Amino acid sequence: MPDLLLEEDWAHRAATIRHLDFQLSGGEGLGGPAAGRALEATRRLPRNLTPGDYRRLGKDKTLRVYENPAAIALCIFDESKALCRKLEEGGKDTRPDLLTCVDSCSNIARTDDHIASITHQMDKLRAEAKLAPLPMAQSMLAQADRNERIVASFGASRILLSDAREQPSTVAHEELQGKPSE
């Protein structure tokens, strides 16, 4: 990937992690199979950074955190776990294919905000299905059922920042301040 695109990619990821940090600090919950890694990413990106630290952390593989509006989820990307069909390969710059996200991927994490959107979408689909012709109604109800499963599994895995603070970080302090994970 050209340097300019790499910089843009990192700027988006850093903004996503900062936003997540802000949400968690405000009391939002986090769930899904990659919730722990998402939380760890917020710990690895300190709020105050020198320009050098900022550039260095852009190469940290544990900070490959993407907002995925299509799946209403975060992707905490680890290529060894990725289920999307087509990965964009580019040497070290492997990225997820967000448009082919798979519900069962263990790189998925969601916040309360995502779950509120998924619940809203579910309610809307069920209301609209009542007025839709049969084949379309069936498809809408199937989508609503999928949303319901996501909401249920989120509830089972949901953690809060206050709970997580009682657990020691799995990342050593010197790693937080020092070399990126490659």
Residues that bind ligand SF4 (CB under 6 A): 68, 75, 77, 82-84, 96-98, 101-102, 105, 107-108
Tokens representing residue 129 in the block: 């299905």
As measured in angstroms, the least distance from the Cβ of 68 to ligand SF4 is 6
As measured in angstroms, the least distance from the Cβ of 180 to ligand SF4 is 20
Tokens representing residue 9 in the block: 């990619």
Contact 38, 20 (CB under 8 A): yes
Strand 65-68 relative to strand 73-76: parallel, antiparallel, unpaired?
antiparallel
Q: Which of 94, 141 has the CB closer to ligand SF4?
A: 94
As measured in angstroms, the least distance from the Cβ of 110 to ligand SF4 is 10
Contact 167, 43 (CB under 8 A): no
As measured in angstroms, the least distance from the Cβ of 69 to ligand SF4 is 12
Name the E strands within 63-148.
65-68, 73-76, 108-111
Q: Which of 75, 122 has the CB closer to ligand SF4?
A: 75
Q: Which of 75, 125 has the CB closer to ligand SF4?
A: 75
